[in-house]
Amino acid sequence: MIGQAGGGTVRRRSFRPGVERVEPRQLLANFLVTRTADAGPGTLRQAILEANANPGPDFIEFNLPTSTSPSLDVPAPGFDPRTQTWRILLQSPLPTITDQVTIDGFSQADVPVAFRYPDDTDEPTLFQTVPNSVPARDGNNAQIRVIIDGSGIDRGAFPQPVGFVLDSSHSDLRGFIIDGFATGVLVPRRENIGNRIQGNSIGGHFLYPVDLTTGDPLPAPGNVAFTGVGISGDAVVLYGTNTTFGGFNPQENNTVTLASGRGVWLTPGSEGNQLFGNQIGVIGPSTNGLYVQAGNGQEGVLIESAPGQLSSSHAIGGPVSGSGNVISANQGDGIRLVGEGATRNRIEGNFIGAAPGGGYIFGTGDPGNRGDGVFLDNAPSNRIGAQDENRRNVISANEGVGVRLAGPTASGNILAGNFIGLTSGGNAALSNAAEGVRIESPASANTVGGGNVISANLRGISIVGPEATGNLIADNFIGSDAAGLGDLGNAFEGVRIDNAPRNSVVGDGNGSQLLSGNNVGLALIGSSASGTLVAGNFVGTDTSGSFELNNSLQGILLSDAPDNTIGGTSTASRNLISSNHWGVELVGEGTTGNLVQGNIIGTDLSQQVPFSNEIDGILIRLGASRNTIGGDSPEAGNVVAFSRRDGVRLEDASIENAILTNSIYDNAGLGIHLVPPSSGTGPNLLRPAPTIDRVRSSVGFTNIVGSLQSVPSTVFRIQFFANPTLDPSGFGEGRRYLGETTATTNADGLATFAADVPGAVNPGEFVTATATDPLGNTSEFSRGVAEELGTVQFAMTEFSVDEAGGQATIVVTRVGGSGGQATVMYATQGGTATPGVDYTPVMGTLTFDVGVNVQTFTVPILADDLGEAAETVGLILSDPAGGATLGTPATATLRIIDDDQPGLVSFSMTTFEAGEQAGQAIITVVRSAGGGSVSVPYFTGSGTAVPGVDYVPVSGILTFGPGQTVQTFAVPLLPTPSSKESPVVGLFLGDPSGGAELGTPSSAILQIVNLDVPQITSLSATADRRGILRIVLGFDRDMIPSRAEDLRNYGYSVQVPGHNRRIGTRQDLLIPLSSVRYDAATRTVTLTTRRPIRPLSSVLVQVNQVTDVPGAGVGVADEQGTLLDGNYDGLPGGSYAQVFRSPRPTPTLPSPFSGRLGLLRAGRLGVGRPRSS
């Protein structure tokens, strides 16, 4: 035969009757229970009566026989050989215990006792009581032998029988199965202090059946049977003080199951009671490895106060090994605290809703409580868990909320270090059916954090209602596993704040709080969800910020929620919002006054690795207005990068959203996108972006010149940004903030600016700008413009100096741009002159600051008395750096002229060139030596240019002083817009005086380059059957396609009369265009209207140049970049306007309109001359 596991049944030992062993004890009065009868000598009832009558501590022990027959094979009354237990079946309640006593059920069979089963031919079977040896959170394998059964009590006579009433202090009750009562154990008064209730099974219980033939345990799993009548009311009711229910040692653990009421009720007036190491609602696993869900009918534990009566300072579990309870499978809440007097209680180290072992076994059903895991119902200043793994509660699998806080006095509570929705390992889901944590109005000033892991629930945390205020959510992992790496997201929001004001959701900015792996990371919903601080969180990444752990939809959602702060200006307050569908979404007309600043959106924590938000970094739509993205300082700016659509996207009538000082870069779409609506007000009123004309930088600052065409008489805030590359759209983004200025538009809506901003532009960077009006309407980014760096080179190929001049001044120029600081090395090298004899060799560096185009260096000349021919010195430039490259000529010659020679006089070149728009041409005359004073006459003469039409004739005398070798004169130029030719002017020198002679060339020409501007030569229009117009504009040359098609410069507009039925007035209606297409083969642009136009209506077509500055990169222009001559004045720029009658819906017009019909000038209609197609 096999012995019972854990020491239950022992076989094949020699059985010898002996005297019971004596244990070391205090000198107590001992009362012995020897019979299972209800009353009389040797019964439990009699022992209690005698102990009550004997003042002082007493001890009640058990020595119930298995059999009274000599052969030990006939069961004694009350003994069940199948379960090896003794049942005391009461007919009436036991006496109330009124004096200190220890009632020890474990004393029954604490040493092996014998019973002879049929197969015991030689020796009887031995068995004994086995206290539990497993911590409550892992199971209970106690084999308790004494059953106190109240099922036989007449309920008519005794309607509410109690198993044991401990109306005493310092009494111990242990080692019993207590079943069949209305209440299992009652401590009735606050004055009952220090009682201990340990090692009992109250209500349902395990029995360990054996084979009635052999006495051997039945095969597993039948070797353990769960049974019991249960408790018809509350299993344990404690009015007392400092009662210990359970204990740290496994043998002290109680089980409480099958009560129709509460498992344990800590009543009003009770204080300082401890519940350690108990199983409440479940029991096991025992020796067969199985646990049983046998939940109590209401709460597992109820802590209840009443007016004027506290129920406080209780400990439900604790940090000591073995002190944690399992409170699961109950029909109500796991633990409920009720009333403002239920305060200063500690709930630590428990499994609440989880099965023993910290999870559950497939096939055993949901172990959770049917209500909430923990419900703080008007209960203040309690602590649930702590940032210590030994104090951690696992609050999971409940059918309600993990932890619910409700009521006006539910304040000052702290939830810390718990696993809510996970198994005890923190790496698998064990979901609560509703939220992990729910704070309901008017509960306020509670703290959720730090160290909670709240995952795999319906929602992580909800704060609901207008009086749920001042709550703090800090330093939790919400949506991840316990390591902050795995995705165990909550089904909906990680945190949902629903019409609850002035709450905080904060981490340390370095991964202490995650809102990741959920459907939505954080949602602020409703008009009362205001004043929320959301700072220092990682939203969509793991705890290191180095791996993606995305929320499925928004990282942060604000829906009709006003006046909240997302982020801040310090490292600790930044949020990392990356790898979500949208980073941040602001939606609804009620979403106003929010501040989104200092966040990292779309990268990892280092800002080096793309963690793209799958659509937009920030989306503002459906009328969300008056919000601020960024702020006044660089620290307030957000990083918004790598979005797969736009960085910041605004839709619908979402106006007055200020987008300031951010770092926006590498987004697939636009950095800022104001999406034009099909009708109505556009986002941020579709404020246009500035135009940057010129960028010049130096050390520590940048000079930026540009303009803005927008609403009139308004002060705009212009911010500038540098970008290492140009956005494919050409409109740029804004990676690095440079600085800002203000610009005020005039009555026509035009403002110009020339700003020195403190940020320097690096070589190759592009500068963009935004414009923000006083109400906060920020534009998109402007086109990116690179600074004009230019080239550095010698001013001429040959310089000359008189040897008596002492030094030669060498001129180095920068052309093609003066942006940025540039440097270049110079040196003398080679030539026929002798270093140290004819000149002193030099070398050095020239520096061109921003805006500086000319620099010089000197070569010392050494005079001698020798008559000699001119000698030469080689000059060289090298190693340009900064804002320029090396141009031509990079080498030159310095000619040293004997100071006694007057030299030869000539033009510096044979052909001079100047554009007519320059106003004048500068002509240079040089002489080859510097001896004495020399004069030479000059004059203009014959050529194809017409005097008085193309230029003003000039003549005069140039005088060269001693040592002077260069002189100039000017030829005034006259504009001739109608001319397309480039005429020439003859230039001539007369005979010089002072001994000089004419050199070569003594005559030259000046070529006047007339400006050739593109113009529109034709217009035609057709209408389809719906009245949609296709308007075709013809150009006289090839145009740049991207600029000919660019609607975003407001390049084209189509208008029809308004209510006054007159075209060209302020009441005109703007017809939106659906497309603009340039056909290079025909040199035409086709404009297609989005809306139909009534046949024979007046239609005004305009081409509006946003700038008249050539080289600005905007406006309709030809392949040389020359702007369209819209008003036919022969100069680039100017608006083109034509009026025509909309055609009837036919495939084509019989004869297309030609010429400038109805040219609009200064608000009046006129007729211009026709032009051929």
Rounded mean pLDDT of 56-61?
97
**Do 662 and 734 touch, CB atoms closer than 8 A?**
yes
pLDDT at position 758, please?
A: 87
Q: What is the mean predicted confidence (pLDDT) over 510-536? A: 97
CA distances from 987 to 24, 161, 944, 949, 970 (A): 134, 132, 12, 17, 11
Question: How far is 704 from 725, CA to CA, in rounded Å?
Answer: 18
What pLDDT does residue 819 have?
A: 62
Give Cα 942 to chain centroid, integer Å. Answer: 75
555 CB neighbour count, 10 Å cutoff: 36
8 A C-beta contact, residue 708 and residue 718: yes
Q: pLDDT (tens digit, 9 = 90+) per residue, 221-262? A: 999 999 999 999 999 999 999 999 999 999 999 999 999 999
**581, 553 Cβ separation under 8 angstroms:** yes
Residue 1167: per-residue pLDDT: 29
What does the radius of gyration of the chain's CA atoms come to, in whole angstroms?
48
What lies within 8 Å, CB to CB, of 762 at 6+ separation is 722, 724
Does residue 450 have a cis peptide bond before it, meaning omega lies within 30 degrees of 0? yes
Q: CA 237, 243, 246, 247: dihedral to nearest 10 degrees?
A: 170
Q: Tell which residue, 891, 994, 979, 1020, has the closest CA to residue 937.
A: 994
Question: Is the confidence at residue 521, as pLDDT, over 60?
Answer: yes
The pLDDT score that the predictor gives to residue 954 is: 95
**Mean pLDDT, residues 522-530:** 98
In the prediction, which pLDDT does 817 show? 66
Least confident of 14-23, 195-204, 412-421, 754-763: 14-23
pLDDT per residue as tens digits for the range 884-918: 789 889 999 998 876 667 888 999 888 888 877 67
Residues 756, 761, 765: CA angle, nearest 5 degrees: 135
At residue 376's C-alpha, the angle toward residues 373 and 382, to 5°, is 105
SS3 1039: strand
Q: Could you tell me the CA-to-CA distances from 975 to 60, 182, 681, 1129 in Å, in that order? A: 126, 113, 45, 11
pLDDT top residue among 764 and 534: 534
Q: Dump pLDDT digits (tens) for 36-55.
A: 999 999 999 999 999 999 99
pLDDT given for residue 447 in this prediction:
98
Residue 700 is predicted with a pLDDT of 67
What spatial distance separates the first Cα and last Cα of the chain, rounded to whole Å? Answer: 117
Instruction: Report pLDDT for 816.
Output: 66
Thinking of the domain 791-897, which architecture would CATH place it in? Answer: Sandwich (2.60)
Starting from the edge strand earliest in sequence, which strands make up the sheet with 1073-1079, in order?
1016-1023, 1029-1035, 1084-1089, 1073-1079
pLDDT-derived band at 1025, boundaries 50, 70, 90: confident
What is the pLDDT, as a whole number, of residue 117?
Answer: 96
| Cα angle for residues 373, 375, 377 (degrees, 5° grid) | 175
Euclidean distance between CA atoms 162 and 182, whole angstroms:
6
pLDDT above 50 for 16: no
Q: What is the pLDDT of residues 459-469, one digit of tens each?
A: 999 999 999 99
Provide the pLDDT confidence category of residue 379 given band limits of 50, 70 and 90.
Answer: very high
Coil, helix or strand at residue 291: coil
| Distance of alpha carbon 1132 from alpha carbon 1155, whole angstroms | 19
Residue 886: how many other CB atoms lie within 10 Å: 15
CATH of 689-786, one of 3.10.450, 3.30.70, 2.40.40, 2.60.40: 2.60.40
> Worst-scoring range by mean pLDDT, 679-688, 734-743, 863-872?
863-872
Q: What was the pLDDT predicted at 23?
A: 47
Q: Identify the pLDDT of residue 643.
A: 95
- In tens, the pLDDT along 527-568 reads 999 999 999 999 999 999 999 999 999 999 999 999 999 999
Rounded average pLDDT over 576-598: 97
Least confidently predicted of 299-313, 480-494, 873-887, 1119-1133: 1119-1133
Q: Give the Cα separation of 418 and 317 in Å (integer).
A: 13
> Looking at the chain, how many residues does it have?
1173
Q: What is the pLDDT at residue 1?
A: 28
Is 904-1009 a domain of CATH 2.60.40.2030?
Answer: yes
Task: Give yes or no for residue 11 having a pLDDT over 50.
Answer: no
What does the alpha-carbon distance between residue 879 and residue 611 come to, in Å, rounded to a whole number? 41
- Residue 460: predicted pLDDT: 98
Digit-coded pLDDT (tens) for 798-842: 888 877 778 999 999 887 666 667 899 999 999 999 999 989 999
Element (H, E) at 52: helix 44-53
Amino acid at 665: Y
Reported as type and span, the H/E element at residue 274 is strand 274-276
pLDDT more than 70, % of the chain: 91
Q: Residue 426: what pLDDT?
A: 95
Exposed (0-12), middle (13-18) or buried (19+): which is 728, by Cβ within 10 Å? exposed
pLDDT at 980: 65
Tell me, what's the pLDDT at 1105? 56
Give dist(CA 852, CA 814) in Å, integer. 8
Q: How many CB atoms lie within 10 A of CB 1116?
A: 27
- Is-contact 924 957, C-beta < 8 A? no
C-alpha span between 451 and 455 (Å, rounded): 13
pLDDT > 90? residue 1112: no
Q: How confident is the model over 59-113, as pLDDT tens digits?
A: 999 999 999 999 999 999 999 999 999 999 999 999 999 999 999 999 999 999 9
What was the pLDDT predicted at 868?
58
Mean pLDDT of 758-762: 81
The two beta strands, 383-384 and 346-347, are parallel
CATH code of the domain occupying 1016-1166: 2.60.40.1220
Q: What's the distance, CA 345 to chain centroid?
A: 37
What was the pLDDT predicted at 900?
Answer: 67
- Token output for 891: 């080498």
The pLDDT value recorded for residue 818 is 63
How far is it, in rounded angstroms, from Cα 224 to Cα 210? 9
Percentage of the chain modeled with pLDDT above 90: 71
pLDDT at 1122: 78
Q: pLDDT tens for residues 850-874?
A: 667 789 999 999 877 665 556 899 9
Give the pair of three-digit tokens for residue 564.
Answer: 């909240």
Q: Comparing 1033 with 726, which gets the higher pLDDT? A: 1033
pLDDT at 788 over 80: no
